[in-house]
Amino acid sequence: PSLHDRNITLSLTPIMASQGKVKVYGTPISQPTRAVQWFCEIANIPYENVSVNVAASRKKRADYIKTINPNGRIPSIKDTNDLVIYESAAIMQYLCNRYNKTNLYPKDDLIARAKIDEYLHWHHENTRMITPGYVGLIMRTDVPFKKWILGTDLLQRRKSIPRTLKIIEETRLNKHKYIAGDTLSIADILCYEELVQIDVWNLLGQGSDLGFDGDGTKFVRDNYPNIYQWLLRMRGLTKHDEIH
């Protein structure tokens, strides 16, 4: 079995770091949580999942909010040294520095590192909009549909996505194999969890054949060939199928 197979339900008792494993707090339906989990697999960092139900009331998540993440959001980690970090990009940056994963986040190459950081900062207001613009309505059944329509800038988020895809297609992947250059980095892992949803959910195309190699894949292949080739490269990475 893989290192992430063991799921631990969050209790209301004080949480102690387990020897030798990073605790990853979140849920598999969360894109940023999957990014951290997949990063740990790719980087060969032992970890275990702690299940957090973000749809539950803040009262039911009181222990998590008090001891791990005051925002109540996911993912978060507790390292083996008891250090707590939240926000997926910050988590992966920290773990790369802590466990010397310089192949995914260079330590001495200032230019390569800056291009990765550039994407990580850009991601939150751009690529990340795929989830609140489309997937949130599918996955977050605890949020009333009326609230999605009236309580958020849903349509504005959707309008921004073609521009985001154009930038990734024509600026980031037109001359390079990966998001921040010609080598895999944490920028790719974070980006993939958003872009793959256009593929498997067929969010922007026509047709009802969902999943990998379905109508969404055809849409991406026909409209964004560089993104399509990048998605195929990412699907070939270790533990892809187990995480997704």
| Banded model confidence at residue 10, pLDDT cuts 50, 70, 90 | very low
pLDDT digits 0-9 by tens, 80-100? 999 999 999 999 999 999 999
Report the pLDDT value the prediction gives residue 72, as an integer from 0 to 100: 95
How many angstroms separate the CA atoms of 132 and 197, rounded? Answer: 12
pLDDT of residue 24: 98
- Tens of pLDDT, residue by residue over 51-61, are 999 888 899 99
Other beta carbons less than 10 A from residue 154's beta carbon: 18
Q: Of the given ranges (19-23, 82-86, 143-147), which has the lowest mean pLDDT? A: 143-147
User: Which tokens in the block code for residue 164?
Assistant: 């985001």
Is residue 148 scored above 70 in pLDDT? no
Average pLDDT, the chain: 88
Amino acid at 162: P
Identify the pLDDT of residue 2: 36
Would you place residue 150 in the very low, low, confident or very high pLDDT band (cuts 50, 70, 90)? Answer: low
Structure tokens at 138: 């599918």
- Residue among 82, 105, 72, 92 nearest 32 (CA): 92
Q: Does the CA dihedral 33-38-43-47 come out positive or negative? A: positive
Q: What is the C-alpha to C-alpha distance for residues 231 and 170, in angstroms, rounded to an integer?
A: 15
How far is residue 24 from each of residues 48, 53, 208, measured CA to CA in Å?
A: 6, 13, 34
> Is the model's pLDDT at 19 over the cut of 50?
yes
The reply to whether the predicted model has a pTM over 0.85 is yes
- 24 DSSP β-pair partners: 49, 77
pLDDT tens for 195-233 read 999 999 999 999 999 999 999 999 999 999 999 999 999
Q: Which residue has the tokens 């990475």?
A: 237
The predicted model gives 19-41 an average pLDDT of 95
Tens of pLDDT, residue by residue over 108-144, are 999 999 999 999 999 999 999 998 888 766 665 555 6
**Three-class HEC string of the chain:** CCCCCCEEECCCCCCCCCCCCEEEEECCCCHHHHHHHHHHHHHCCCEEEEECCCCCCCCCCHHHHHHCCCCCCCCEEECCCCCEEECHHHHHHHHHHHCCCCCCCCCCCHHHHHHHHHHHHHHCCCHHHHHHHHHHHHHCCCCCHHHHHHHCCHHHHHHHHHHHHHHHHHHHCCCCCECCECCCCHHHHHHHHHHHHHHHCCCCCCCCCCCCCCHHHHHHHHHCHHHHHHHHHHHCCCCHHHHC
Higher pLDDT, 159 or 188: 188
